[in-house]
Amino acid sequence: MKNLLVASTSTIFGGHFLQYLLPELKEHFKGINTLLFIPYARPGGISYDSYTSIVAEALKDFSFAVKGIHEFDDAKLAIDQAEAVFVGGGNTFVLVDQLYRQDLIKPLKKRLENGIPYLGTSAGSNIVGLSVKTTNDMPIVHPETLEALGMIPFNINPHYLDPDPDSKHKGETRETRIKEFHSCNNTTVIGLREGSWISVKDKQMLLKGEFNARIFKQGKAPFELPPNSDLQQLI
Amino acid sequence: MKNLLVASTSTIFGGHFLQYLLPELKEHFKGINTLLFIPYARPGGISYDSYTSIVAEALKDFSFAVKGIHEFDDAKLAIDQAEAVFVGGGNTFVLVDQLYRQDLIKPLKKRLENGIPYLGTSAGSNIVGLSVKTTNDMPIVHPETLEALGMIPFNINPHYLDPDPDSKHKGETRETRIKEFHSCNNTTVIGLREGSWISVKDKQMLLKGEFNARIFKQGKAPFELPPNSDLQQLI
């Protein structure tokens, strides 16, 4: 049993933090008393406390409390006993580095396999895949490995961005980067546009939100899948 | 003695491969018989041979030959005996991974310290800095380390891109990413716009091309340096 909500982004243009997901989260986190928030990917400059406060503020109309993992003496125990977990965005390398340094990957994986509700946004969604080798982030730290939770048999590319036909910039497009990924890896990549998420309920993996996802399979031309597609067909 | 040409990109909008640098390269590679090209960062899909042919074609009006490092039985010896080296762009992680796997970082560093002319573009410029932790590339492989040649006491961010004020995308801007880098690293970062390069002659490090560079120092507001500035002032 798995129960995951894997979102491209925490925030869409013109909206507040998590705002567009609130109706979905009401159902997703139904019945819990406390949500464990993991702020390790924190965007530069803000403290774990501040990041946790932003989450608590965004979810203040729900009947559960939000507690940051850094508030616990024993982070592993906090995960072992969590009713539900949210891993927020920021820098994926920093997040993965912390999870491995504190030996939290296995405990987290175990809890998610046991079916507690999980929410990931951006970096927190990257880690749900097989590896974080399709992150868009800058490698500002060097984790011991880029292997991730492997809760879905794909990699995620969050904040997926279509090429700008008017661009004069010669840096690689996102599509080119993912093509490069497939020159050394055979994992299928889900390009998840902002406003999209994947709802994982055991083996079912539905694409949600109003946008198509762009799918990259090694050796094949990329293609689009519409909302409500079950990603199981990609296995 | 150092003699390096560290370019943001191989190609600018509307131009051919290396075209905008040809006048500079004529002087830079004066008197050599053979240029050793290192294609290890190769962009997805093309072979080392094809990549080397593109370089040879771009430099065909010069009087030297272009030889790919993969054409030699002993890559280390090829570097030890090189008259001049060009490391091209592609994926920085793939490049660094190959250089470490083949134990080529030290020999290359030694040759550059001895003053042979070096040209780097994009990934080939990233490796000139202290680390490649400010690359824009996707971490499609996981090298043993991200430490680099350290030929200049900075990091490079090639293809530096200003934030788009009209963007509705919520992914991080380049400036935000470099700010995140400075939350865990104190190395000064040179944001090198496409069309800019750094000419390193021993201790002198001149910004060349027609654009400003954007400079990021830990704990300070980013600022601009105009063309022909000596980057020594940043130490």
pLDDT digits (tens, 9 = 90+) for A82-138: 999 999 999 999 999 999 999 999 999 999 999 999 999 999 999 999 999 999 999
Mutation site, A138, A160, A173, interface B, largest B CB count within 10 A: A138
Q: How far apart are CA A160 and CA A190, in angstroms?
A: 9
CB B194 within 8 A of CB B171: no
Q: Which of B180, B170, B175, B174 is nearest to A94 (CA)?
A: B180
A136/B138 touch (CB, cutoff 8 Å), yes or no: yes
B185/A43 touch (CB, cutoff 8 Å), yes or no: no
| Predicted TM-score (pTM) of this structure | 0.94
Catalytic residue among B28, B97, B125, B159: B159
DSSP state at residue A147 = B
Q: Which of A71-80, A153-162, B19-28, B43-52 is predicted with the least confidence, judged by mean pLDDT?
A: B43-52
A152 lies in some domain? yes
Could you tell me the two tokens for B68? 């790919």
Which pLDDT does position A43 carry in this prediction? Answer: 65
Residues of B in contact with A180 (CB under 8 A): 43-44, 90-91, 94, 137-138, 140
CATH of the domain at A106: 3.40.50.880
How far does Cα A159 stand from its chain's mean position?
A: 10
Question: Please, what's the b/e burial string for A186-214 (b: 16 or more CB within 10 A of its CB; e: otherwise)?
Answer: ebbbbbbbbbbbbbbeeeebebbbebbbb
B138/A140 touch (CB, cutoff 8 Å), yes or no: no
A139 touches B: beta carbon within 8 Å: yes
A168 lies in some domain? no
B164 lies in some domain? no
**pLDDT of A36 over the 80 cut:** yes
Which pLDDT does position B43 carry in this prediction? Answer: 65
Question: How near does any CA of chain A get to the CA of B159, in Å?
Answer: 6
CB A3 within 8 A of CB A118: yes
Which pLDDT does position A169 carry in this prediction? Answer: 74
Could you list the residue range(s) of the whole structural domain that residue B66 is in? 3-159+190-214+225-234
Q: How far apart are CA A136 and CA A77, in angstroms?
A: 31
A172/B132 touch (CB, cutoff 8 Å), yes or no: no
CB A41 within 8 A of CB A124: yes
State the pLDDT confidence band at A168, using cuts at 50, 70 and 90: confident
The ranges of chain B with pLDDT < 70 are: 43-44
A167 lies in some domain? no
B139/A141 touch (CB, cutoff 8 Å), yes or no: no
Which pLDDT does position A81 carry in this prediction? Answer: 98
State the pLDDT confidence band at A172, using cuts at 50, 70 and 90: confident
ipTM: 0.91
B133/A132 touch (CB, cutoff 8 Å), yes or no: no
Cβ-nearest to A170 among B11, B133, B179: B11
Residues of B in contact with A45 (CB under 8 A): 179, 183
Q: Which of A139, A137, A115 is nearest to A125 (CA)?
A: A137
A138/B142 touch (CB, cutoff 8 Å), yes or no: no
B60 touches A: beta carbon within 8 Å: no
> DSSP string spanning A11-66?
--TTS-TTGGGHHHHHHHTTT-SEEEEE-TT--TT--HHHHHHHHHHHTTTSSSEE
Q: Which of B93, B163, B177, B169 is nearest to A137 (CA)?
A: B177
Residues of A in contact with B161 (CB under 8 A): 169, 171
The domain total for chain B is 1
Of residues A43 and A18, more confidence is placed in: A18
**pLDDT of A170 over the 90 cut:** no
Residues of A in contact with B91 (CB under 8 A): 180
Q: How far apart are CA A124 and CA A8, in angstroms?
A: 9
Binding-face residues of B in 78-137 toward A, CB within 8 A: 90-91, 93-94, 132-137
